[in-house]
């Protein structure tokens, strides 16, 4: 597979709404307000569920939202296939599997779409062989190393002088790829170094994982990796290949990997209008927004662009338990 940023790949800034899009094209439906026939029609309209994890199943890194695992089990017993699509790369897939197992859900590795693994699979598909500079978590780097890739070793130090800044951002390392994802130890010097590698080597790959504008921490929004991806895109004049939600490149890989011939028979469940609903609509899936995570009822009253307007809304995943009882 060729590493190519397609013409329809959008930069982080282009994934944000434009003034022309700030209107609601149609209203969404609340599942709990549907008639019995409408409920049955809805339930019969999809075969595959694509489910976000944080804010839908889990309310924190480790705690399960009440009733969420029972809802997943209920959906599976109704014959629905479930694929888990997360932007959370600070928890490796093996740890994710243990989380699911601990709460009673049997999940296989191939059923989880995870930024670090997706990027690793992409690098393998293009037979990438070179040094990688990562602005990511240590867990993300560990996945790349386990897959056999070379990652630049970094010393996290404070910069106190111009000499120390030069040492931090200028390097002779033959870096062939820059990857940006969630990094809780992000610094200006890390972004400067990423910029330098991309500007000095036009053949250096620029890849991003999760592109969330905001991420949730203890129920509050904090800045996600998206704005930092945008900074490097703007300064380097390079467009990142975004392999996390809501990236166009992830959509293309995702659709090919799972061989979706009838995307309209898929239902994407998530808690974010920008990350989950937008990605679901980009893929052609139906979308269900849960209000147990980052989106509030007040958010739904604001002007929503068409690509961020869900088809259906429900308070929490637990409400699906015994849906027809």
| pLDDT tens readout for residues 39-74 | 999 999 999 999 999 999 998 777 899 999 999 999
Does residue 120 sit in the same domain as residue 236?
A: yes
* Domain assignment present for 6: no
Kindly give the residue spans of alpha helices, DSSP state H, lying in the chain.
Answer: 36-44, 68-77, 93-102, 115-125, 138-146, 162-169, 188-200, 226-236, 248-257, 278-283, 297-301
SS3 at position 67: coil
Closest CA to 88 of 61, 50, 125: 61
CATH number of the structural domain spanning residue 44: 3.40.50.1000
Residue 165 belongs to some domain of the structure = yes
Tokens 């800045």 -> residue: 223
**Cβ within 8 Å of residue 167, ≥6 positions away:** none
Domain boundary among the residues 221, 242, 263 is at: 242
Q: Round to whole Å and give the CA distance between 277 and 26.
A: 14
Tell whether 213 and 264 lie within a shared domain: no
pLDDT at 169: 92
* Integer Cα distance of 227 and 225 in angstroms: 6
Q: Looking at the structure, do residues 221 and 280 belong to the same domain, yes or no?
A: no
- Are the C-beta atoms of 171 and 204 separated by less than 8 Å? no
Which residues participate in catalysis according to the annotation?
Answer: 52, 54
* φ/ψ of residue 97, rounded to 5: -60, -40
Residue 13 lies in a domain: no
- Residue numbers in the known binding site for Mg(2+) are 52, 54, 271
Which of 102, 89, 97 has its CA nearest to residue 63? 102
Residues 133 and 231 in one domain: yes
Pair 171, 189 in one domain: yes
Query: What is the rounded CA–CA span in Å between residue 120 and residue 143?
Result: 8
**Pairing verdict, β 220-223 and 214-217:** antiparallel
Residues facing residue 207 across a β-bridge: 179, 241
Q: Which residues are annotated as a binding site?
A: 52, 54, 245, 271
Same domain for 183 and 297: no
Tokens of 167: 């040492």
**Whether residue 255 sits in one domain with residue 235:** no
Among 239, 225, 220, 221, which residue's Cα sits nearest to residue 115?
225
Residues 123 and 135 in one domain: yes
Tell me, yes or no, whether 311 and 213 share the same domain: no
Q: Is residue 14 domain-resident?
A: no
Position 47 scores a pLDDT of 95
pLDDT of residue 78: 92
- Which CA distances in Å does 270 have to 25, 87, 129, 255, 281? 20, 11, 35, 18, 12
One domain, residues 163 and 258: no
Task: Give the residues of the chain that fall short of pLDDT 70.
Answer: 1-2, 4, 6-26, 155-156, 324-325
pLDDT at 158: 83
Q: Which structural domain, as residue segments, surrounds residue 279?
A: 22-115+251-320
> Alpha-carbon distance 157 to 159, whole Å?
6
CB 244 within 8 A of CB 87: yes
Q: Is residue 15 part of a domain?
A: no
Element (H, E) at 108: none
List, as residue ranges, the binding site for substrate.
245
Residue 246's contacts (CB-CB under 8 Å, 6 or more residues apart) are 15, 211, 274, 275, 276, 278, 279, 282
As a whole number of angstroms, the distance between CA 256 and CA 258 comes to: 6
């Amino acid at each position: 597979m060729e590493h190519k940023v397609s013409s329809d790949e959008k930069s982080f800034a282009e994934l944000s709404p434009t003034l022309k899009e700030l209107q609601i094209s149609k209203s969404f439906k609340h599942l709990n307000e549907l008639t019995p026939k409408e409920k049955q029609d809805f339930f019969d309209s999809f075969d595959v569920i694509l489910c976000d994890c944080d804010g839908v199943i889990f309310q924190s890194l480790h705690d399960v939202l009440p009733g969420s695992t029972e809802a997943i089990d209920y959906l599976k017993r109704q014959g629905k296939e479930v694929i888990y699509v997360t932007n959370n790369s600070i928890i490796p897939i093996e740890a994710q599997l243990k989380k699911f197992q601990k709460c009673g859900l049997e999940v296989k590795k191939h059923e989880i779409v995870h930024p670090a693994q997706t990027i690793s699979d992409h690098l393998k598909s293009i037979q990438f062989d070179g040094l990688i500079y990562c602005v990511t978590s240590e867990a993300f780097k560990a996945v790349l190393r386990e897959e056999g890739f070379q990652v630049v070793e970094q010393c996290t130090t404070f910069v106190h002088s111009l000499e120390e800044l030069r040492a931090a951002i200028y390097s002779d390392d033959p870096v062939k790829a820059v990857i940006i994802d969630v990094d809780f130890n992000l610094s200006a010097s890390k972004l400067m170094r990423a910029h330098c590698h991309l500007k000095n080597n036009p053949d250096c790959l620029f890849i991003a994982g999760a592109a969330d504008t905001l991420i949730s921490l203890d129920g509050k929004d904090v800045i996600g990796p998206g704005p930092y991806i945008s900074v490097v895109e703007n300064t380097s004049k390079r467009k990142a290949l975004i392999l996390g939600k809501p990236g166009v490149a992830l959509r293309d890989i995702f659709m090919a990997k799972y061989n979706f011939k009838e995307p309209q028979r898929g239902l994407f469940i998530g808690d974010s209008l920008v990350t989950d609903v937008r990605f679901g609509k980009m893929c052609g899936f139906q979308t269900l927004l849960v209000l147990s995570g980052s989106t509030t009822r007040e958010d739904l009253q604001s002007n929503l662009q068409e690509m961020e307007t869900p088809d259906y809304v429900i308070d929490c995943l637990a409400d699906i338990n015994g849906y027809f009882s």
